[in-house]
Amino acid sequence: MWRAADIPTDSYYEVRAECTDVPKTKFKIKAGKTLSVRKWKAAFSPEGYVDIGRTLDRIHRGGIHPDIRGEVWEFLLGSYDPKSTYEERDELREDRRARYTVLKAECRNLFPMIGSGKYVTAPILLENGEPSQDPIVLEQLKLENGEPITMVKETDKKILEWKLTLHQIGLDVVRTDRTLVFYEKQDNLAKLWDILSVYSWFDTDVGYCQGMSDLCSPMIMLFQDEADAFWCFERFMRRIRANFRATDRSMGVETQLGSLASVTQVIDPKLHQHLEELGGGDYLFAVRMLMVLFRREFSFGDSLNLWEMMWALEYDPEMFAMYEDPDDEAKGRAKSIRHYGKFEREVMKSGGKVGEAPLPISVFLVASVLKDKSAKLVAEARGLDDVVKILNEMTGNLDARKACTGAMKLHKKYLKKVKKPP
């Protein structure tokens, strides 16, 4: 039996017995280091105010106990203001649940399979809006009671674009975290499909893009209420949705790829030059790491541990006010510097504006991985295929805590090198 201090976080996310080649966890719940249920509860006042500063350092050093992970994530992602009371949060939660119910009802009116416990993996409409006559589609277009869903030609452009994404969401859903026992249940797959479908309707500017299922999947597991999972995912997307915005000429993640190139050029010019000579100066080989934040490089549990460490390091106490009302007069009010994450504090000390880190920690995480593999990449990579192969070798071999520590060190080094004399 595992002692409390030795429990691997992956023991909370059961892997199917036949899946023997998945990355193993390197993170263990450690007494005195991991944010425990007791320590989390102790951070609350009798009214429900949270002294978030008491938890940030512990989170970025030792992660969060899985029993409270969902609740803590809501604060780290700005769903709730630490300066709110229990009563205020209960009211806000109920309001959000009601809003999600309305959103989901809108989607269900457009396509009755939403909320039915089923999902589609084949195109239900053609590009011209005509219903598909494919037998596979017709077989999928049946509710649990066997009643068929009748499709008609769709002429509304917004609705057509949304319906054209539903099968792609379904295809991604059935491929997401299928090594986990949790997703053996169709109800859980359907819940993931529902949330992503509703989000695609909710955020029409971004819609749905491949990779979002990897980011949403943990929310399904952490929250019993589907609405709570949706809004936590929505807050997560606010942080990174720019990566998913795309036009005919560019994709949103190119901004971070450009930042990664700039950082690497400063801290490891020899590696940057080598990558440019190989034709990799656009750093497209790092797209996946930035888009899904290392979900593929770590075990499931370790990737969650990495995320919460990043969020704790980047934490900004003004996040809730900025999300709820960009014109809120409370925004920018003075707070103790200890209420900010360590990464954010370093940005403030370097002269950056409060709450406006010039570069996200994710860029420095990828840069630290490249720095760690620098000698091997320079010596052995003779083409971009070699670069990808060398980077793929790190799957399952990374340590979340060490990765964050390396990112922080590179961030300091970068700030020191680019800081211009007065």
Query: Per-residue pLDDT tens for 270-304?
Result: 999 999 999 999 999 999 999 999 998 888 999 99
pLDDT for res 32? 83
Average pLDDT in the chain: 89
Q: Please, which pLDDT band fits residue 422 given cuts at 50, 70 and 90?
A: very low
Does 232 score more than 50 pLDDT?
yes
Q: CATH topology of 1-42+62-67+249-422 equal to that of 85-245?
A: no
Helix axes of 157-173 and 86-110: crossing angle, nearest 10 degrees:
110
With vertex at residue 30, the alpha carbon angle to CA 297 and CA 56, rounded to the nearest 5 degrees, is 75
pLDDT for res 320? 80
Does 335 score more than 80 pLDDT?
no
pLDDT for res 338? 74
CB 327 within 8 A of CB 207: no
pLDDT for res 142? 87
CATH architecture of 85-245: Orthogonal Bundle (1.10)
Long-range contacts of 291-296 (CB under 8 A, 24+ apart): 291/211, 291/243, 291/244, 291/253, 292/211, 292/214, 292/215, 293/215, 293/240, 293/362, 294/365, 294/398, 294/403, 295/214, 295/215, 296/214, 296/395
Q: Of the candidates 314, 233, 297, which has an alpha carbon nearest to the alpha carbon of residue 59?
A: 314
Does 413 score more than 70 pLDDT?
yes
Residue 223 sits at φ, ψ, to 5 deg, of -125, 125
Three state DSSP letters for 245-295? CECCCCECCHHHHHHHHHHHHHHCHHHHHHHHHCCCCCCHHHHHHHHCCCC
Q: Pick the residue with more confidence: 27 or 191?
A: 191
pLDDT (average), residues 252-259 = 89
CATH architecture of 1-42+62-67+249-422: Orthogonal Bundle (1.10)
Does 265 score more than 50 pLDDT?
yes
pLDDT for res 326? 54
Percent of the chain with pLDDT over 70: 91
**In the chain, where are the structural domains located?**
1-42+62-67+249-422, 85-245
DSSP annotation of 84: S
pTM of the model: 0.92
pLDDT for res 242? 86
pLDDT (average), residues 201-223 = 95
pLDDT for res 367? 95
pLDDT for res 248? 62
